[in-house]
A and B are shown apart, each in its own frame.
Chain A
Amino acid sequence: MRGVLVRALEWRARRFSDPVDRLQFLRRNLEARRQGSHVKAAFIIVLAMGAALLFTAWLWTSSRHMTIADANTATLGLPTKLPAVTASSAAMQAASIADTPEPAGPVWLVQTTSQFDLYSNGLRIEQQYGTSTAPRQYIAFASDSSHTIDWAGEWRTEPAGIVYHTTESHLAPFEEDQNQSLRRAGEGLLEYVSRRRSYHFVIDRFGRVFRVVRESDYANHAGNSVWADGNRIYLNLNQSFFGIAFEASSKSSGAEPAVNAAQVYAGRILTQMLRARYGIPASNCVAHAQVSVSPVNHAVGYHRDWAANLPFLQLGLADNYKLPLPSVELFGFQVDAGLAGAGASSLAEGLEAAFAQVRRDAAAHHLPVERYRENLWQRYRDAIRAQRGKSAQQEYN
């Protein structure tokens, strides 16, 4: 919660262009937080209410069939009816999956040196920050269309998907006279993520692709997270998914896109290579905000990078924002008020589709939605326990 508040505070501070106003805003808010619990509580309540109002507005505008009351209660996680199922949203899900493009063709390694790898689609991966962790190995749970899960699990070593991140690092203005600062910021970032083994790849602001953790190993990029495809459920995606980070901030100012054309192009050919070489389905190429969860408050979008505006189409993918969020659908996660602050309008359809599915499933089980959701949370706890148990067993053996 503290991290969320700090991020919200930073985000709001950035909206002040005058340095004096910005400092005034930061100091006043931090001072308020430092002072007694009354002031602190008031600040939190005001922030939460503001975020809730924003989120309410977003839900209202994104769903023609949802009332404001529905949106309020759904947002705040209060016991109530969930958004009505609409034929249009269900059709949208099907359409998005049907539209999923396939990889353009084979991509092969042309040349490998100590400095770089070159691929047949023009992709060049710089090696100087490359590092390793341990070979990838994870448990995936098989699931059928009725959401029956096989808890026996299956050990796998092949990557199942890609999670796209932003580094949220310090960004110098992207201007010619800032070349030195831009280069330095990129180098500092790469050293940092390499030390922390944070991603598999980083795409810097000049569109260069840097390898961080090698492809055969896991990387630290999506700890508490959930995704699922038609066949399997994946938990804690550090092991099962590649992590690609764009040197960017999701909260870029004004109408500016978070990434530039060079970065998008690099992301496209990198995605193409990974999908071609590892047979990754397009529907498993997703934004960090889509997969990130908080087990503490059962909320989705704990990390909010790419909560909106990931250029799926330019990356050669379908608009995966439309996919229902498995964390909501399978494990009953909810939306917390702060997600609205990340400008998460792109996620609206996926959330709506997932909420609708939960409502349908609850009805099928003859349970109130809240009660059904509690069952789903228990399912998540069981899944995590099963995963940990099997990992420990594997280690012991």
Chain B
Amino acid sequence: MSDTHTQNPTALGLDVGTSRIVAAQRQDKDIQFDTQLNAFVTIPFSKLTQGVLKKEQIPHLVQDSEITVYGDESERFANLFHRETRRPMLRGILNPDEAGSLMLVRQIVRLVMGEGEGQGRRVCFSVPAAPLGANNEVTEHENSLKEMLSKMGYDPHPISEGLAVVYGEMEASNYTGIGISCGGGLCNVCLSYLSVPVFSFSIPKAGDFIDEGVSQLRGEPATRIRTIKEESFHFNGHFANKIQQALVQFYEDMIQALLAALKDQFASVQNMPKLNRPIPLVLSGGSVMPPGFRDRFEKSLREIELPVAIAEVRMASNPMVSTARGALVAALSEL
């Protein structure tokens, strides 16, 4: 092709999710991903503990009488000290109940993007689409992250999480299709036509909703539920185990809520482009990982009547990093 174009080789993609933060950057022809849990745990301060953490190079902060361990290591320390990990973010945005949430996100972002200053590198970072009636909260979240990244020396640009999934996974259909990211706090959805978002929305039912729901129903800690969900849960077959049964029930609830919202969006959208062929739908995010999820989702999808035909429902090539990949594609294309 003769079209001239330039790419910014130092651009970054950043997925700031409720449960994980993922950075993507190009290394020659490949993409390198760095990921950390977006979580922390506080433990009582002691010089001995601080010394061990320093020696082991475990990311931590010392505040007053507490040590805060953050990122991937937080889970190990939570188990060690029999505590629950905490989240700097809740339902897709900075957690208003955690005073130092922005500072912790900043520390975790440093872990995945490197310690050095941003040096004006362009970064596209994911933000959730606003859940119904919560526009202001999302705007505030977006502004906070933008300011944080600017102060770190980057050139930040927000991108809707669902659109990032489209950019990360739908090159083959010229970025036309439906991208869905089911993460910890929210399920984000975007319908894109030739790379332009037609609509984006989110619903507050995702991984945390499932964990908390099952936790309350079965009287088990949410952390244990999450561990079961991530390590052994699948949709195929029947379960004697009541936790597994409850997981199926809450997953089903999430899928139905997602599809109902999708149908509503189609009904309310104006200026819908004329789609002259069936479009693909891609599932990504940690909450779509259980084996059999795709089949269950597709079965429910086929039961509702959407005004567009879906050519295929497929899993993202790597559901855990597709948002970051899409954010990187957006950043590299210098939109």
Contact = CB atoms under 8 A, between A and B. Distances in A.
B33 to A, nearest CB: 16
Contacts of A12: 1
A254 interface: no
Interface string B135-171: 0000000000000000000000000000000010001
A195 B175 CA distance: 25
Contacts of A14: 174
A30 B1 contact: no
Contacts of B195: 23, 26-27, 30
Contacts of A378: none
A169 interface: yes
A21 interface: yes
Interface in B157-196: 167, 171-175, 194-196
A30 B174 CA distance: 12
B329 to A, nearest CB: 5
A238 interface: no
Given A184-B312, A185-B312, A188-B312, A170 B334 contact: no
B321 to A, nearest CB: 14
Interface size class of A (residues with CB under 8 A): 20 to 34
Contacts of A278: none
A172 interface: yes
A114 B194 CA distance: 41
Interface residues of B, number: 32
A170 B278 contact: yes
23 contacts: A3-B274, A9-B194, A16-B1, A20-B329, A20-B333, A23-B175, A23-B195, A23-B335, A25-B3, A27-B196, A30-B194, A169-B311, A170-B172, A170-B277, A170-B280, A184-B311, A184-B312, A185-B311, A188-B311, A189-B309, A189-B311, A192-B309, A195-B309
A188 B309 contact: yes
A6 interface: yes
Interface in B264-287: 274, 276-280
Interface string A181-203: 10011001101100100000000
A236 interface: no
A168 interface: yes
A23 B333 contact: yes
Given A20-B7, A24-B5, A3 B311 contact: no
Contact of B314 (A25, A168, A181, A192): A181
B313 interface: yes
A283 interface: no
B194 A6 contact: yes
A378 to B, nearest CB: 31
Contacts of A6: 194
Contacts of A167: 277
A169 B279 CA distance: 8
Contacts of B311: 169-170, 184-185, 188-189, 192
Nearest to A6: B194
Given A27-B195, A170-B279, A184-B312, A20 B1 contact: no
A310 to B, nearest CB: 19
Interface in B115-152: none
Interface string A1-35: 00100100110111110011111111100100000
The 10 lowest CB-CB distance pairs between A and B, nearest first, are A192-B309, A24-B333, A170-B311, A19-B171, A184-B312, A188-B311, A20-B332, A26-B195, A23-B333, A185-B312
A32 to B, nearest CB: 12
Interface in B309-335: 309-314, 329-330, 332-335
B196 A30 contact: yes
Interface string B1-28: 1010101000000000000000000000
Contacts of A185: 278, 311-312
B4 to A, nearest CB: 10
B253 to A, nearest CB: 25
Contacts of B277: 167-170
> Which of A16, A23, A185, A188 has the largest count of B CB atoms less than 10 A from its CB?
A23
Nearest to B173: A170
A214 B334 CA distance: 51
A185 B309 CA distance: 10
Nearest to A188: B311
Given A6-B194, A30-B195, A181 B312 contact: yes
Contacts of A184: 298, 311-314
Contacts of B175: 22-23, 26
B309 A191 contact: yes
A11 B313 CA distance: 24
Interface string A149-180: 00000000000000000011110100000000
B333 A27 contact: yes
A23 B329 contact: yes
Contacts of A16: 1
